[in-house]
Structure 1
Amino acid sequence: MVLIAHISFGFWDHFYHDDAVLARIVHHVAYLGTYGVELFFVISGYVITSSCLRYSPREFAGRRFWRLYPVFALFTLLYFVLNLVTRYEPVKLGVGKLLLNLTFLDLFAGTPALTPNAWSITYEVWYYIATYGLLWFLLRSTSPWRVVGAIAFMTLAGYMLAAYDITIYFVGGALLYFLQQRLRPVIAAGPATAMALAALVVIVAIAGTMDFPTNTYLEMPGMVLPAVALVVATLIFVQAVLFGQGALSRLLCTAPVRFVGTISYTLYLAHPYVYIAMRELLRRVGVGNYPWQITLLPYLVATIAIALGVSWVIHKLVEVGPYELIYGNRIYRDPKPADPTEHAQPAEAAMETNPR
Structure 2
Amino acid sequence: MSQTDQHVPADGPTAQTGEPTVAARASSLRPGTEAPLADAGPVVRKNRLAALDGLRFLAALSVVLFHFVGQTPGAMEFVWGRPVDTLFPEAHRYFAFGRLGVDLFFLISGFVICMSAWGRSPRDFFISRVTRLYPMYWVAIVVSACAIYLFDTPFGHPNPRVLFANLTMLQTPLGVDNLDSVYWTLWPELCFYLTFSVVVWKGLTYQRVVVFCGLWTVAAVLAPSAGIPLLTLLVNPTSAPFFIAGMAFYLMYRYRPTPLLWGIVAMSWLLALHFLLAPHGGRNNWETWSPWRGWLILSTTVFFLLIAAIALGWTTWIRGRWLTVAGSLTFPLYLLHDVIGVSLLHHFSDRMSPWTLVGVTVGGLVVLSYFVQRFVERPIALAMRRLLSSAEFGLKTPTSRRRP
**TM-score, normalised relative to structure 2:** 0.58
Question: 1:169 and 2:242 equivalent?
Answer: yes
Is the CA contact 2:111–2:250 (under 8 Å) kept in the aligned structure 1?
A: yes
Residue 217 of structure 1 aligns to a residue in which SS? coil
Residue 137 of structure 2 aligns to a residue in which SS? helix
Is the CA contact 2:122–2:200 (under 8 Å) kept in the aligned structure 1?
A: no
Structure-to-structure mapping, 1:60-209, within 5 angstroms: 60-85=125-150, 88-89=154-155, 92-95=158-161, 97-137=162-202, 139=204, 159=232, 163-180=236-253, 181-183=255-257
Q: Deviations over 1:275-331 (max 9, x none)?
A: 23532552462x4xxxxxxx3443233122211111111101222222334557xxx
Question: 1:38 and 2:103 equivalent?
Answer: yes
Q: Deviations over 1:245-299 (max 9, x none)?
A: 35xx645x334443322211111112224423532552462x4xxxxxxx34432
The corresponding residue for 2:113 is: 48
Instruction: Specify which structure has the higher proportion of helix.
Output: 1
Unaligned stretches of 5+ in structure 1? 141-150, 185-205, 288-294, 329-356
Relative to structure 1, is the Cα distance of residues 163 and 316 closer, same or farther in structure 2, using a 3 angstrom cutoff? closer
Relative to structure 1, is the Cα distance of residues 76 and 211 closer, same or farther in structure 2, using a 3 angstrom cutoff? farther
- Letter of the 2:104 partner, please give it: L
The corresponding residue for 1:6 is: 67
Question: 1:313 and 2:371 equivalent?
Answer: yes
Q: State the alpha-carbon separation in 1 of the partners of residues 370 and 285 from structure 2.
A: 39
* Identical residues among aligned pairs (%): 20
Question: 1:299 and 2:299 equivalent?
Answer: no
Over aligned residue pairs, what C-alpha RMSD do you find? 4.0
Say how many residue pairs are matched.
280
Q: State the alpha-carbon separation in 1 of the partners of residues 311 and 247 from structure 2.
A: 13
1:25, CA displacement in angstroms? 1.9
Unaligned stretches of 5+ in structure 2? 1-61, 206-214, 224-230, 259-272, 387-404
- Letter of the 1:276 partner, please give it: V
- Letter of the 1:171 partner, please give it: I
Is the CA contact 1:71–1:266 (under 8 Å) kept in the aligned structure 2?
A: yes
- Letter of the 2:238 partner, please give it: D
Residue 182 of structure 1 aligns to a residue in which SS? coil
Relative to structure 1, is the Cα distance of residues 18 and 136 closer, same or farther in structure 2, using a 3 angstrom cutoff? closer
Residue 118 of structure 2 aligns to a residue in which SS? helix
1:43, CA displacement in angstroms? 0.6
Relative to structure 1, is the Cα distance of residues 45 and 26 closer, same or farther in structure 2, using a 3 angstrom cutoff? same
Is the CA contact 1:113–1:119 (under 8 Å) kept in the aligned structure 2?
A: yes
Tell me which of 335, 345, 350 is aligned to 1:279: 345
In the TM superposition, structure 1's runs of 4+ consecutive aligned residues that sit over 6 Å from their partners are: 154-158, 210-214, 222-229
- Letter of the 1:166 partner, please give it: S
Is the CA contact 2:109–2:243 (under 8 Å) kept in the aligned structure 1?
A: yes
Q: State the alpha-carbon separation in 1 of the partners of residues 169 and 115 from structure 2.
A: 23
The corresponding residue for 1:237 is: 306
Is the CA contact 1:218–1:228 (under 8 Å) kept in the aligned structure 2?
A: no
**TM-score, normalised relative to structure 1:** 0.64
Relative to structure 1, is the Cα distance of residues 18 and 57 closer, same or farther in structure 2, using a 3 angstrom cutoff? closer
